[in-house]
Structure 1
């Protein structure tokens, strides 16, 4: 009886592993398809930058157990498990290795052991909240993350994403704390999000401008050095960061608030929404987050009926030779902000004389870095950004700061 029970348990384990390996292989095949054209590809693209190493490990376990089962007795089940697990292991290893290689070639660092220890993007929150004058008390706030060493620290100004519809200034809380722990004084800015009653294509840029003016005037009070300031932005926040930084560099910003304009020395953006028409026409319609709805909501209607609004929010409108050095992260399997639209913008920015570094992350999707802390994508974003800011002289330097 015990032998029969053990045999059935062993068969059940093989069957479950076969189903798991088949699912992994299915996802692997989707990684080679266009995420803007296929739900299969869109689903697959979400997985790799967060769970790639875990899927490699699971595939390896399936292969080992398949080999053990085949040696005991070769059956259709053990043979299938062996073959499917082998396919899953080869494909997942290739995808994961491609991401790691691209990150390291871009000057980033990946710890595979750390990728297996995923954490929430929420940490302990900011050190201080600043409430600015404004109609919306939630979005007219600034979250401040202070470094341990508070003498003329380099400054980071972060603008969150969310399709101009959602998101919050602490949605990447753990990342902002990570930068503070490494010597940056971090300010995360809020802005008004669009609703069915109110489009914010004019309001959101004004909000981040006013918050940036406040940072420029007050950073030194919190130990920051405004002359060593960089702007960071993700998705919609990437659009706002680029547009603000490029306008102020060329003195094109119509003043929404009194005070000197922010003058960032560098900009770092991820999957920036630089081209609203590309998103509107080619973004994959994820339920509840359809690109057509996001763009129309932000602009207040069909973009083809409001060409002047499209021009006002398009980052192409603000390209100029005086724009600060820019680092752009472009996940190659972005189905929301089409990857090609980001590549094209980087090309046009270079033609305009902007010093642009484009980092392409293979097999990665939109918000590839925000699913979990410690993931492949999260480590890529943090380590490459740190390398870039160090090269620009915008990172904390203990020796230099001690001399001040």
Structure 2
């Protein structure tokens, strides 16, 4: 038998394959209150002729509804075949933009808790926000462990090259990532100039370097025991060489060209050890990169906005906002 909830999910998943704007409809609610910002109505496909290096059989996009009852919306998407960004436009733009990369252990994209929630919060404060639906490395793309980074590079370039259209300043573009999305963000902040895909249009002549980067409880190391085992296996395979681990450990790639970074982690994180952020911080300091680090006694993993309520980690968005102002953004 198929209950109503699974039938609804099946209908939603089927709708994802129909058209761009139906692919990942934003939640109508956050908890019991409607968000102050309207749902995004714009979707930007990253690759005009389809994503490069596609496998012989494209993955099928599936939406998982993980919320129960009246809980805060919590959907996850996997099988991304058409990488894209959804746009949250503010009522009064402040000239700054953010490219947001949700986490999900490289197995899925946690759309609501690490994407749409913070996008609405930022848009309510004047930011133009682009939530990135990046491809997952376990789906057979030719770029392998660089597939998500290629989408992040392309997304940042499209944001910057569309500055006039969106009323933003091309030198006020932030990148933000959570958990495995924090690894994508760290990759972007440290390997933004690495040529990992063939240019497709004029946008690819624009720099992919974010002006600032925010890494929240981010996966960083790919070497055990510090690495998050699930992310490591999906990104690099079951038995990566030490050289491959190092190549994809973001702290090992920090240089003086890395943008200023804002790091957030909870000491009681049992999924991604806080030492991931500490290693990245140490590398930033060694390279002379400005870095602000906030470690909270409690918060666990995956707290985003809604799951941080009532915990010390709940203050991180305000701290980020203040830090961005000091950097000339926001």
CA distance, structure 2, for counterparts of residue 120 and residue 361 of structure 1: 28
The aligned length equals 264
Please say if residues 155 and 224 of structure 1, whose CA atoms lie closer than 8 Å, have aligned partners that are also in contact. yes
Corresponding residue for 1:263?
209
Question: Which deviations, in whole Å up to 9, do the C-alpha atoms of 1:27-71 show, x marking residues without a partner?
Answer: xxxxxxxxxxxxxxxxxxxxxxxxxxxxxxxxxxxxxxxxxxxxx
Deviation at 1:274, TM superposition (A): 1.0
The equivalent position to 2:290 in structure 1, one of 330, 355, 370, is 355
Other structure's SS at 1:381 match: helix
Change (3 A) 1:126 1:376: farther
CA distance, structure 2, for counterparts of residue 392 and residue 362 of structure 1: 26
Please identify, of 311-320 and 162-171, the stretch whose mean Cα deviation from structure 2 is larger. Answer: 162-171
Please say if residues 119 and 374 of structure 1, whose CA atoms lie closer than 8 Å, have aligned partners that are also in contact. no
Answer yes or no: is 1:131 the counterpart of 2:45.
yes
Change (3 A) 1:178 1:309: same
Please say if residues 265 and 274 of structure 2, whose CA atoms lie closer than 8 Å, have aligned partners that are also in contact. yes
CA distance, structure 1, for counterparts of residue 181 and residue 254 of structure 2: 17
Question: Which deviations, in whole Å up to 9, do the C-alpha atoms of 1:271-321 show, x marking residues without a partner?
Answer: 11110224xx257xxxxxxx4333112212223xx3343233210232111
The equivalent position to 2:31 in structure 1, one of 95, 114, 119, is 119
CA distance, structure 2, for counterparts of residue 165 and residue 179 of structure 1: 26
Corresponding residue for 1:165?
107
Q: Indicate the RMSD between aligned Cα atoms, in angstroms.
A: 2.7
Change (3 A) 1:213 1:121: farther
Other structure's SS at 2:103 match: coil
Superposition map of 1:83-162 within 5 A = 119=31, 123=35, 125-133=39-47, 134-135=50-51, 139-150=82-93, 153-162=95-104
Deviation at 1:365, TM superposition (A): 1.0
Deviation at 1:368, TM superposition (A): 2.4
Corresponding residue for 1:298?
235
- Kindly indicate which of the two structures has a greater share of residues assigned to helix: 1
Please say if residues 212 and 262 of structure 1, whose CA atoms lie closer than 8 Å, have aligned partners that are also in contact. yes
Other structure's SS at 1:195 match: helix
Unmatched 5+ residue regions in structure 1? 1-117, 284-290, 396-404
Deviation at 1:367, TM superposition (A): 1.1
Change (3 A) 1:120 1:196: farther
Q: Which has the higher contact order (CA 8 A, sep 6+)?
A: 1
CA distance, structure 2, for counterparts of residue 363 and residue 379 of structure 1: 10
Please say if residues 154 and 208 of structure 2, whose CA atoms lie closer than 8 Å, have aligned partners that are also in contact. no
Corresponding residue for 2:73?
none
Deviation at 1:126, TM superposition (A): 2.0
What TM-score does the superposition give when structure 2 sets the normalisation length?
0.71
Corresponding residue for 2:273?
338
Please say if residues 159 and 240 of structure 1, whose CA atoms lie closer than 8 Å, have aligned partners that are also in contact. yes
Please identify, of 129-138 and 158-167, the stretch whose mean Cα deviation from structure 2 is larger. Answer: 129-138
The equivalent position to 2:252 in structure 1, one of 317, 330, 335, is 317
Change (3 A) 1:378 1:363: closer
Question: Which deviations, in whole Å up to 9, do the C-alpha atoms of 1:318-370 show, x marking residues without a partner?
Answer: 21112211110011011111112321321222012111111001122111235
* Poorly superposed stretches of 4+, deviation over 6 Å: none
The equivalent position to 1:190 in structure 2, one of 122, 126, 133, is 133
Corresponding residue for 1:4?
none
- Work out which of the two has the higher radius of gyration on C-alpha atoms and give 1 or 2: 1
Other structure's SS at 1:233 match: strand
Superposition map of 1:56-67 within 5 A = none
Corresponding residue for 2:187?
243
Unmatched 5+ residue regions in structure 2? 1-29, 52-57, 59-79
The equivalent position to 2:318 in structure 1, one of 361, 379, 383, is 383
The equivalent position to 1:275 in structure 2, one of 212, 221, 232, is 221
The equivalent position to 1:216 in structure 2, one of 160, 185, 191, is 160
Deviation at 1:195, TM superposition (A): 3.1
Other structure's SS at 1:268 match: strand
Corresponding residue for 2:175?
231
